[in-house]
Amino acid sequence: MTTTTSGAGSEAVVKAAGIQAAALRDRGAEIERARRLPEPFVRAFEEAGLFRLCLPRSFGGAELSLADLVRVLETLAIGDAAAGWCAMIASTTSALAAWIEPSAAREIFSSPGAVTGGVFAPTGRATRTAGGFTVSGRWSFGSGCQHCTSLLGGAIVVNGAGPELSPQGRPDIRLCFFPAEEVEILDTWHVSGLSGTGSHDLAVRDRFVADPHAVSLLSDAPREAGTLYRVPVFGLLAVGVASIALGIARRAIDELVALAAKKTPALAQKRLADRGTAQVAVAQAEGALGGARSFLLATIDDVWRRVEAGGTIALVDRARVRIAAAHAVRDAARAVDLVYELGGGSSIYQTSPLQRCFRDVHVVTQHASVASGSLELAGRALLGVDADYSIL
């Protein structure tokens, strides 16, 4: 399979991801204890462009193809899943620069050291005021919030009569960007996996957001012509989430292979690597991961080429991307489960990367973009059932 790339800079970013993954590989326990990405890695990621993988080239970003995005995020997640997740959230958020008025986009995304993040879910309320909106709200899962310079929160536009409606007849939802210093970070991120993402709750009260800093993905059109910005942001997010799961599974299989070469299970005469049950389980895990990865890459490659050639992405293609992403996450988790179980008692110790892979991948499976509800919506699209497909 041949995959498209986004430009000459893509290989440099892939190389940088490999360098950072190697540096991250033995830092997982430290990152997990800190519940955030350490500052040296924040600086390194920023300098290498790993927080701006989806930012338009016109604003200094990499503007990667979907296939290259998978490669970079997967590589980072092999090093450390939480670090890869932080890069994924910042990068998918940076894609929004394609929708924002250019001067505002430069202010948010192109200033020195700029890193963006936030939450798309519309749990905030925005009231129209002169020149913009007054916004209040609280959002869960603000990944990477402690190292961001700008944070967004989804908000429903309301007036005295209730929600305002967009031209399509749906509630008008705006993604509102705030300077990070205006956002309260609530220490809520005490979780089983991906602890190092620092995905705390975010809150604002009666904050003014100027019109150019409040974008709608439902009614606004992208201002950039690149192929990446004709792929719905929700599908882009799902592909990013899937990439992290693939990286976690690759790390888990590699860790088990290394363990099996030196471990002789209790009461056994042969190394784990020499046992038939272990050989079958590793083969099954490798097959699950390889199949999931190949299906995801084949799907996004096919969709990317047709969007490049014809413009607007078809509904059925949006469904296929979401199906491939959700499938990749589920089969990656299955691969991790197989090798975690195969590791036996060795897998349960905090010193074992296998237990961290197990916990991390099962947090990834809970993300809304790849959960069972997304498959239901994708199935409706394939069956031609009338539905609101705005978040597909």
Say if domain 117-215 classifies as CATH 3.40.50.1820. Answer: no
Q: Whole-number mean pLDDT of the chain?
A: 94
What CATH number labels 231-383?
A: 1.20.140.10
User: What DSSP character marks residue 229?
Assistant: G
Map 345-382 to HEC letters. HHHHCCCCHHHHHHHHHHHHCCCCCCCHHHHHHHHHHH
User: Using CA atoms, how far apart are residues 199 and 128, in angstroms rounded to an integer?
Assistant: 29
Q: At what angle do helices 66-79 and 10-24 cross, to 10 degrees?
A: 10
Structure tokens at 246: 């693939």
User: What DSSP character marks residue 163?
Assistant: E
**Predicted TM-score (pTM) of this structure:** 0.96
C-alpha closest to that of 97 among 124, 65, 60: 60
Structural contact between residues 97 and 63, judged by C-beta atoms closer than 8 angstroms: no
User: Using CA atoms, how far apart are residues 37 and 79, in angstroms rounded to an integer?
Assistant: 13
How many percent of the chain have pLDDT more than 90? 89
> What are the residues whose beta carbons fall under 8 Å from the beta carbon of 227, sequence distance 6 or more?
65, 304, 307, 308
Structural contact between residues 228 and 54, judged by C-beta atoms closer than 8 angstroms: yes
Q: Flag whether pLDDT at 2 surpasses 70.
A: no
6-20, 233-247, 314-328, 378-392: least confidently modelled range: 6-20
The fourth-level CATH superfamily of domain 10-98 is Acyl-CoA dehydrogenase/oxidase, N-terminal domain (1.10.540.10)
Structural contact between residues 145 and 200, judged by C-beta atoms closer than 8 angstroms: yes
Q: What is the pLDDT of residues 247-259, one digit of tens each?
A: 999 999 999 999 9
C-alpha closest to that of 329 among 357, 294, 293: 293
Cite the residue boundaries of each domain of the chain with CATH code 1.10.540.10. Answer: 10-98
Confidence of residue 141 (pLDDT cuts 50, 70, 90): very high
Q: Flag whether pLDDT at 78 surpasses 80.
A: yes
Structural contact between residues 321 and 361, judged by C-beta atoms closer than 8 angstroms: no
Cite the residue boundaries of each domain of the chain with CATH code 1.20.140.10. Answer: 231-383
User: Using CA atoms, how far apart are residues 236 and 63, in angstroms rounded to an integer?
Assistant: 12
Confidence of residue 219 (pLDDT cuts 50, 70, 90): confident
What pLDDT score does 7 carry? Answer: 40
Cite the residue boundaries of each domain of the chain with CATH code 2.40.110.10. Answer: 117-215
